[in-house]
Amino acid sequence: MKVAVKICGLATLDALDVALEAGADMVGFVFFPASPRHIGFEAAKRLGARVASRALKVALTVDATDHTLRDIVDALKPDMLQLHGREAPERVGAIRSRFGLPVIKALPIAMRADLSPIRFYANFADRMLFDARAPREATRPGGLGRPFDWRLLENIDLGIPFMLSGGLDADNVGEALRITHAPGVDVSSGVERAPGLKDPDKIRAFVRAARQAAERLTGGGAPSVAPKTRRRRG
């Protein structure tokens, strides 16, 4: 079983280096001022240059305008865009076409009915990301370190790859993969010692746990690697 491991919310060169050395397939950078993981364009240039081709660079945005997206693309030179706001399917398609980059669309999940929009996004996004629904009083989207009921994703068939997020850490990622057979996992707060402050040991432990779980699900063999990301235009 191939599992793409994404470490998100990286904001320092030291944390980025640990994620790359641990073998993360994707590294995520947040461009959303309300988040404690937000980075500016100058930091994005430094971090993006450090990655080179060692992993896929993912830029996370929330209902960003085309102008902001252009600035992000120019600074980070990402391989993928992750849309974590209320972007409609047509908006996802327009962004993918305009910037010529694969798009991950995040959906908040709390109950089975929250899966119904998938069919509308599947023709526009390259991957879906399922995260826990934020509390009503939250000031930013995402699960904020809390998982949802992974059983909602059992035997799910989207037609496109998906990633699992929300409350994952080294202790539970194996169980999450056993239940969902997700082809990708995404972690941020689960590898932190405080909001926005990554813990090197937790990053290494998470990548190791995800790899070991993937091997168990395939009955052993070589460590899994991320599938090639397809670029679609138009």
The CATH number assigned to the domain holding 67 equals 3.20.20.70
Looking at the chain, the number of H-run helices and the number of E-run strands are: 7, 10
Residue 230 lies in a domain: no
Tokens for 182, please give them: 């997700």
Residue 228 lies in a domain: no
**229 vs 42, residue with greater confidence:** 42
pLDDT at 234: 37
Q: Which of 25, 79, 126, 131 is catalytic?
A: 131
- Give the pLDDT confidence of 54-102 residue by residue, as tens digits: 999 999 999 999 999 999 999 999 999 999 999 999 999 999 999 999 9
**Cβ neighbours of 170 (radius 10 Å):** 20
Q: Are 113 and 133 in contact (CB under 8 A)?
A: no
Residue holding tokens 């399917």?
Answer: 89
Phi-psi region at 77: left, alpha or beta (left = phi > 0; alpha = psi -120 to 50): left
Residue 222 lies in a domain: no
pTM metric for this prediction: 0.89
Query: Domain range spanning residue 89?
Result: 4-217
Q: Answer yes or no: 8 catalytic.
A: yes
Q: Which of 8, 25, 169, 186 is catalytic?
A: 8
Query: Can you tell me the distance from the alpha carbon of 219 to that of 227, in angstroms, rounded to the nearest whole number?
Result: 19
**Closest alpha carbon to 209 in 163, 173, 178, 165:** 173
Query: Can you tell me the distance from the alpha carbon of 147 to that of 160, in angstroms, rounded to the nearest whole number?
Result: 22
Residue 234 lies in a domain: no
Confidence label for 158 from pLDDT (cuts 50, 70 and 90): confident
- Give the pLDDT confidence of 173-203 residue by residue, as tens digits: 999 999 999 999 999 999 999 999 999 999 9
Number of domains in the chain: 1
Is residue 231's pLDDT more than 60?
A: no
Query: Can you tell me the distance from the alpha carbon of 182 to that of 166, in angstroms, rounded to the nearest whole number?
Result: 13
Share of the chain above pLDDT 90, in %: 82
Q: Answer yes or no: 66 catalytic.
A: no
Confidence label for 135 from pLDDT (cuts 50, 70 and 90): low
Tokens for 165, please give them: 């997020």
